[in-house]
Structure 1
Amino acid sequence: MNGGRHNERHHARNRESFMTLHDIPLRTLTGEPTTLGAYSGRTVLVVNVASKCGLTPQYEGLERLQQNYGDRGLTVLGVPCNQFAGQEPGSAEEIQTFCSTTYGVSFPLLEKTDVNGDGRHPLYAELTRLADADGEAGDVQWNFEKFVISPAGEPVARIRPRSEPESTEVVAAIEAHLPG
């Protein structure tokens, strides 16, 4: 099959057609078109999420960040991904129900997305260029890897999956880039 090659060419074409992260086409969990531009002027914490992972309880901390910093200009953006041991097998409806009933998630979720490999979404093609605190860029390591995007649409921090959402590292990166 040639599906991977088609996706790679498709994403390469998309990459050439946008100017900033704000311009990259995205889809909400319900399939509606959007972009990060919808959050222009806000700090965005982009996190690849999964419902059946040992790190899934991080949803609680992500929701607390949204509640505590939302009024100050933060939007947490969850990106379901099934690339790590098949830990996000659900449909969009199942994911939404799980997140809202189990963890009270109120922050926006995107459609299920590939974050690594030939079919990597253009957003993650850009985000994975950013190095973490140890100077390592490249593939997302696991579910719940976190990227902070400035209000201007620039990736400014990358935090690996084992760092809890309310850890000093994550909170400091968010607070350093809140608008105003």
Structure 2
Amino acid sequence: MNALAEYYADADFEILAFPSNQFELQEPGVTGEEIMNGIRHVRPGGGFEPLFTIFQKTGVNGAKENGLYTFLKGACDYTFTEFWPGLFYDPIKVGDLQWNFEKILIGKDGKPYTRYHPSVILANSFKDDIDYLLNM
């Protein structure tokens, strides 16, 4: 995501990250500082500093789902067709985010444009869609 943030630094483009602990409990940090220390020193580590906004930890699925994610998931096709083990929320529903690093691209109009499977990670994988939305 840092590569995209650098590439689009002068564009009307923003990356927003919402940590969640609902996937194999991989985000145990509670405070913003604990989460940032995990990013800097564990994953990805090596003193990594994100060039994008990271919000407080939130629920993206289930009974404690943040309303933003209810809206986003309702507007996009889902990226998984079966559930994986290691999900820590209830109830589980079709269309839920099923792993960390799913990404949702939103247009300038505030409408979700598309949702990417968590395996889509290379900056070039997003550029055509981002460029399209920036030029609308």
TM range (shorter): 0.7 to 0.9
1:120 lines up with 2:77 in the alignment: no
Residues 133 and 86 of structure 1: CA distance in aligned 2, closer, same or farther (over 3 Å): closer
Cα shift readout 1:16-54 (whole Å, capped 9, x = no counterpart): xxxxxxxxxxxxxxxxxxxxxxxxxxxxxxxxxxxxxxx
User: By how many angstroms is 1:98 displaced?
Assistant: 3.5
Q: Percent identity at matched positions?
A: 33
2:39 and 2:48 in contact (8 A); partners too: yes
User: By how many angstroms is 1:85 displaced?
Assistant: 0.5
Residues 160 and 120 of structure 1: CA distance in aligned 2, closer, same or farther (over 3 Å): same
Letter in 1 for 2:105: V
Give the equivalent residue in structure 2 for 1:54.
none
Count of paired positions: 118
Q: Going by fraction, where is strand more abundant, 1 or 2?
A: 1
Match for residue 16 of structure 2 among 77, 87, 98: 77
2:78 and 2:115 in contact (8 A); partners too: yes
2:79 and 2:117 in contact (8 A); partners too: no
Q: Which has the higher contact order (CA 8 A, sep 6+)?
A: 1
Give the equivalent residue in structure 2 for 1:131.
77
Specify every segment of 5 or more residues in structure 2 that has no aligned partner in the other structure, as ranges.
42-46, 82-93
User: By how many angstroms is 1:118 displaced?
Assistant: 1.2
Give the equivalent residue in structure 2 for 1:90.
29
Residues 157 and 66 of structure 1: CA distance in aligned 2, closer, same or farther (over 3 Å): same
1:127 and 1:155 in contact (8 A); partners too: yes
User: By how many angstroms is 1:110 displaced?
Assistant: 0.9
2:22 and 2:59 in contact (8 A); partners too: yes
Cα shift readout 1:99-146 (whole Å, capped 9, x = no counterpart): 3563221211111011111111001001111115799x7100200000
1:65 and 1:165 in contact (8 A); partners too: no
Instruction: Measure, in 2, the Cα distance between the counterparts of 1:153 and 1:133.
Output: 21
Q: Going by fraction, where is helix more abundant, 1 or 2?
A: 1
Q: TM-score, normalised by structure 1?
A: 0.59
Instruction: Measure, in 2, the Cα distance between the counterparts of 1:103 and 1:175.
Output: 27
